[in-house]
Chain A
């Protein structure tokens, strides 16, 4: 079935470690997005990419990095520079300017 797969669903990180969240889509969408959601809050845009080998910073890009080497994949690295990384991370894709299709999210906890 077509869709977006995020992994892992749950992830624990020690302070000072980098972690990478995976996002894969088989919808043949050009645009992909990473959002962060804190408890009881809306979604804040971290990075987005509209085409392979190109991406733009969102509103809260500091402490995060991404790559877009393949159309299907848009991994997010949470670096040690991100001071408060505990959150729910959501990946999405679309054919702009249409609707977003979301994955089920990855919950990152810093120990």
Chain B
């Protein structure tokens, strides 16, 4: 079963606008990670946020984590056409028999129009 659920499934915006994607999960986590995938390629890591962190920034990316609601959001500010890709969240199980298991959500397809 998928640990993470993302919404929206697809997002279409104009260049310069901000894009927000959300991820919800079900069980305890060690950390939550966001990845980007261009069509037909492997995934590329964007940012990792630990379970004891609430917000993290990296360039135009801002990630928040609310462990009480089991949810995270990824904000891309001042989007560019080159940001067009699929974005996935992944949750890193915190322990027990699932230690090391990294589970992905369904992803959000972002299209940025020039």
Contact = CB atoms under 8 A, between A and B. Distances in A.
Q: Do A and B interact?
A: yes
B48 A99 contact: yes
Interface string B25-66: 000001101010000111111001000000000000000000
B102 interface: yes
A90 B43 CA distance: 9
Contacts of B44: 102
Interface string A95-106: 011111111110
Contacts of B31: 97
A59 B106 contact: no
Size bin of chain A's contact surface: 20 to 34
A43 interface: yes
A59 to B, nearest CB: 6
- Which of A41, A102, A104 gathers the greatest number of chain B CB atoms within 10 Å? A102
Interface string B1-27: 110101000000000000000000000
Nearest to B92: A97
Given A97-B30, A102-B43, A43 B1 contact: no
A34 B98 CA distance: 15
| Complex A-B, nearest 8 residue pairs according to Cβ-Cβ distance, in ascending order | A102-B42, A99-B45, A43-B104, A42-B106, A102-B43, A50-B100, A104-B42, A42-B104
